Amino acid sequence: MVAFAWIPFLLACVSPLSSVAAPLEGLTTTASFKGTPVFPPINYGLLCELPILQGICTRVAAKGSSGIQVTTPIGTAQGVADGSGANRFAVKYASATRWAASTVATKWAFPTGATNASGLPLACPQPSVDPSTYTEDCLSMILYVPTSLKANSDVPTLLWIHGGSFIAGSATAPGLDGSKLAIATNSIVAVMQYRLGALGFMAPSGATNLAVKDTITAMNFLAKVVPSFGGSAKKITLAGQSSGANMIRALLATPSASSLFQSAILQSDPINYGFLNASTQTALQSSYNTLTGCAATDKACQAALSLDAILDAQVTLGDNAPSIDASTGSAEPIRPVRDGSLITTPLDLTAAFPSVNKPILLSNVKNEAGPTIFGMFTGVLAPSVFGPVCEASLGDDRTATIQASPFYNTTNVADTRIPLEALGTDWVWRCPTWSLARSWVGHGGKAFVGLYVTGATYPANNGIAFCLESGSVCHQDDIEIVFGTVPNPTPAQAALTTEMQARYKAFLTTGNPNVAGLSPWTAATTTDVHAHQLGGTPTPSGEVPVGACDPSFWGAAVDYDYQVFGI
């Protein structure tokens, strides 16, 4: 979840030889007479490496103690059937020593903490959770593969990158079971983890964007293994929510990663914040090194740090970041850095926009700021509070323009939290997303923009009364809709899940979310993003009113934060 800077997720190949291939996978067998071996032990798994048998062993569904098995270029993948029509494979996709770049796994292995195919990965280290739930050796992912897939199916892969403000979250977070999404889209769904917080972004040596590089490593891993499961190495689409979408935007700004994926889906990206610039990162890094007591070159000191010490220093850095450099804000002070070598462009209104060609799908929810405003201010706010809050957050000049506009009127409003929530949603999420869409289209790409007006309350929002109200769709409330994991969905939620999974299936395949039988979703242009309403009672045009996201207001009359700070 993102908080404001300002207030404080196989069947065997049909072959008559499958009964022969099944016992070859991962078994070591010895012929015997009355219990005495008569031949040397034979490792039948090695036989699958022989060219004559590789066609037999490529895809095997073997039941028993080893569950589902698939031969990959890096060894036998063991998985489990989840009962829904998909098989699940948890795997370590990479390894990395502390504060070093990750490298692609060369052997298929269970995630740390898992002792068999049914085990799930431990999370990456993060504050305020039980240490038994995480491990530093956390570069793992879960693959969800429809049992209907056959060898050489050449289907797409959706790689999901979880949110959590770059300091929290995991591949096993609520709602991220990819089975139903994989089945509905006839794709492989991979849900990955990446190094969080200081371990992913604050290498004492000054090396930047280790977490971003983890996602690149994950894509290289998938390109190597998905053909074994029926996928195409050339049909990888990135998808993610909140900081996961922010990570994808960083990858869109990374020329060296461009060949690794064909399209992208960004849900609720807080684009207003922008990437950090190199000087800001240097200042944060210097402070972090001081907090840990380890010099940039003292590798022995760095290796000896406990995870508790690393996380404690991270929390302190996050608290102090706005006073070190105001451009960090307090919501995501640790985030991707435009370092000029990996991430080479801000992808915003502050610099020349690069030529692009990938199709992207950009979406927001109706009440992105609901958890922040109503989570922080638990009681009704008087109209007089609006101005001071805005001034403390946006400064006098931006506040004056906002108060003079018709978009956030506090006249005759009983609770000022309502216009504050609308302001926060437009400022941090919706309007900068629309600005990105216009720029993307204007420089060669294709973009489709949507807004969820129906959602499903995410577990993290259960304690926020506003998010439980009928009609509210808060930040994260789109996750379970997309994954099809809403518990006891209403007819409206079930219908939207069916629609979005159909649209995602089309987008994964063609780069266009339009599907026969569903209302037309018009692609964005440089002057009109044609934001498609997702759920609810359709407007006559099927589109969402522009409101304050007109290009003459946000990004022009009122600057985004990334414009204010020149990042």
What single DSSP character describes residue 412?
A: T
Cα separation, 312 vs 325, in Å, equals 20
Residues 334-345 have a mean pLDDT of 98
Cα separation, 477 vs 480, in Å, equals 7
If DSSP codes are grouped into helix, strand and coil, which group holds residue 159?
strand
Cα separation, 424 vs 104, in Å, equals 40
Residue 538 confidence (pLDDT) above 70: yes
The tokens describing 526, both together, are 């440089």
Band of residue 256 on the pLDDT scale cut at 50, 70, 90: very high
Cα separation, 502 vs 483, in Å, equals 12
Q: Can you give the C-alpha Rg of the chain in angstroms?
A: 25
Average pLDDT score, the chain: 90
pTM of the model: 0.89
At residue 391, the pLDDT reads 96
Place of tokens 């929002």: 461
Residue among 467, 471, 453 nearest 371 (CA): 467
User: What is the per-residue pLDDT across 86-101, written as a single tens digit (0 to 9) for each?
Assistant: 999 999 999 999 999 9
Residue among 29, 147, 16 nearest 87 (CA): 147
Please count the other Cβ atoms lying within 10 Å of the Cβ belonging to residue 157: 29
User: What is the per-residue pLDDT across 106-120, written as a single tens digit (0 to 9) for each?
Assistant: 999 999 999 999 999
Q: Which residues is 323 bridged to in the sheet?
A: none
Dihedral angle, C-alpha 278, 279, 283, 288, nearest 10 °? 10
At residue 540, the pLDDT reads 83
- Residue 542 corresponds to which amino acid? G
Cα separation, 250 vs 467, in Å, equals 30
Residue among 246, 256, 268 nearest 337 (CA): 246
Cα separation, 388 vs 395, in Å, equals 9
Angle between helices 210-229 and 243-252 (to 10 degrees): 90
Residues known to be catalytic = 242
- Identify the structural domains of the chain with CATH numbers, from first to last: 18-241+276-334 (3.40.50.1820), 359-564 (3.40.50.1820)
Alpha helix locations (H) across 368-468?
A: 370-376, 386-404, 417-424, 431-442, 465-468
At residue 276, the pLDDT reads 98
Cα separation, 562 vs 104, in Å, equals 34
User: What is the per-residue pLDDT across 186-233, written as a single tens digit (0 to 9) for each?
Assistant: 999 999 999 999 999 999 999 999 999 999 999 999 999 999 999 999
